[in-house]
Structure 1
Amino acid sequence: MRQFLAVFHTEGTKILNSKMVWITSAAFTIGPLMAAFFMFILKNPDFAETSGLLGAKAQLAGDATWPSYFSLLAQIISIGGVIVFGFITSWVFGREYSDQTVKDLLALPFSRGMIVYAKFSAILITTLCLTIYIFSIGLLLGGVIGLPGWSASVLEHGLFIFFISALLTMALSTPVAFFACYGKGYLAPLGFIIVMVVLAQIIGAIGYGDYFPWAIPALFSGTTGEESPLTLLSLTIILLTSIIGFTGTSAWWKFADHH
């Protein structure tokens, strides 16, 4: 346990001292800002039109309420999280090859499996903190706008949908780690992320999103206009995808011929 904590501390220090996590946090902040801006326009259409924020012929669908706002935040975390969480994962694993520090890790008196576990743990903590940050910013902005429809039950439901969507999206980051190791850098995992995002949109549009892992969180969050129940089959598909990615990454570190 002491060895794991030592490796975990090292990985956490790498993340905190990197520009990546702060740039990622700043970029992801655009999500709740845009959601709040959208709610503000819906809540004040006349002001938005007279001030030039909205064209005279423009029409926006939806209503400016807390339930709609929470749903929009969940959609942002489920779609944007695939890219942001995947980018964090690709950095944590891919930088070792790009910076040629993988040989230094392998020389440490720790098992290769422990290094992988520590990296995934650091990624989980980082993405959880980022998720909490995004939701907190969203709450603050929603309060500033003065959205109607607030209640304890609305907050509870919004929290549930948001964080379950985030956790489902986090689970899909493990295959990204495998491609970062297999491709020995950033290019392969980032390409994989882009392909999965595109496929999720296409497969979701033709009605088979419940069977494609990267489309399931978005459907659950309500991208189709209403929240899609998380079925046992969909949850199993995501868990299997996550386990395959984790197992593949662990096997690569343990058995691949590292030079």
Structure 2
Amino acid sequence: MNETHYTLIEHLTEIRRRLIHAMIVLGLAFGVLFYFANYLYQFLADPLLSVLPAGNQMIATQVATPFTTPLKLTLFVSFLVTLPYLLYQIWAFIAPALFRHEKQRILPLIILSCALFYIGMAFAYFLVFPVMFKFFTETAPVGVQVSTDISFYLDFVLGMLFSFGASFQVPVAVWVLCWIGVTTPESLAQKRSYMVVTAFTVGMILTPPDILSQTLLSIPLYLLFELGLIMGRIYSKPVNTALVEASNDV
């Protein structure tokens, strides 16, 4: 462990410095992407627009929403683009206080978590959204014109993207639980049947009530659970072994 000791003021100063760097990078990304705000929204709306009946389109029910809604999306995209740098700032702040064996595991954990978050959102956009929106539009009652408000659509889609990104953190959660000794891969493997039920329950909650879209989420969730078990078997060690390594690092 780094033997340099910092005062509370020095810690707060370091946090402030890294927050300023993170905000500057986020602001720069937002400034670059601002010009493409309408194009970004068009890209996000394409899964719905492509399945709307002929002649139907999205609407704006408030005066300012044609401007503020793409702006809100641009801020979200800026956050996604700069997420690796933001996580690096967090890592750079906590790394000096970690043991060597902790650094060797936590850094890959952060990278994997970030990658899985992106993969989860891409999975939702390219595979789940087309099925979901087609189901919604085809089940509309006769005489009902599907014309979704752009602000409501953005809120719904961003919520779904965050939900899928978070759901794809299953391997990370399993790895951490095994690493800190809360459970073991062998114990979790014996509970596979419960995980199957949990995966389909999450699928029912996050997707429309049709079997196809539920399956599109439930099966990947279960496969990610199995990936977590594999990672747990490879990287997890008994707690007493970790303590021995920690004492040696000191």
Q: TM-score range by the shorter chain?
A: 0.3 to 0.5
Q: TM-score, normalised by structure 2?
A: 0.35
Q: TM-score, normalised by structure 1?
A: 0.34
User: With CA pairs under 8 Å and 6+ residues apart, which has the higher RCO, 1 or 2?
Assistant: 1
The structure with more radius of gyration: 2
